């Protein structure tokens, strides 16, 4: 992740990135950092199970975030089509 700026304000981490937005994988990782924390001092078996759970949740988050992006693009394409901007719909497919 090529993060341009990183900071924290009132417990909320703020990050920016050059040349576009974050990928769904990057957003999922940021969400996981807030949702599931695995302690360094945890029992090895508990830690292993927590990491496996975190990885499973990452897959679910990425899947549904990708679905949300697809559905949002379909909605946006429909609105652009209704407004007569067919040439802009091609940009959504890139």
Tokens of 45: 């078996």
Q: How far out from the chain centre does Cα 66 lie? A: 8
Q: How many whole angstroms separate alpha carbon 94 and alpha carbon 92?
A: 6
pTM of the model: 0.75
Q: Which of 34, 36, 37, 38 is nearest to 11 (CA)?
A: 34
Q: How many whole angstroms separate alpha carbon 33 and alpha carbon 41?
A: 17
Q: Domain coordinates of the chain in residue numbers?
A: 3-92
The pLDDT, as a whole number, for residue 94 is: 74
The pLDDT, as a whole number, for residue 17 is: 76
The pLDDT, as a whole number, for residue 1 is: 44
Task: List per-block mean pLDDT (blocks of 10 residues) for the chain, which spans 94 residues.
Answer: 53 74 94 92 94 97 97 96 94 82
């Amino acid at each position: 992740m090529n993060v341009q700026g990183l900071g924290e304000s009132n417990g909320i981490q703020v990050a920016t990135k050059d040349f576009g937005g974050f990928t769904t994988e990057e957003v999922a990782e940021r969400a996981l950092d807030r949702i599931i924390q695995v302690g360094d001092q945890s029992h090895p078996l508990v830690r292993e199970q927590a990491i496996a759970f975190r990885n499973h949740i990452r897959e679910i988050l990425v899947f549904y975030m990708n679905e949300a992006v697809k559905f949002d693009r379909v909605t946006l394409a429909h609105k652009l089509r209704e407004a007569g901007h067919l040439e802009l719909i091609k940009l959504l497919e890139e």
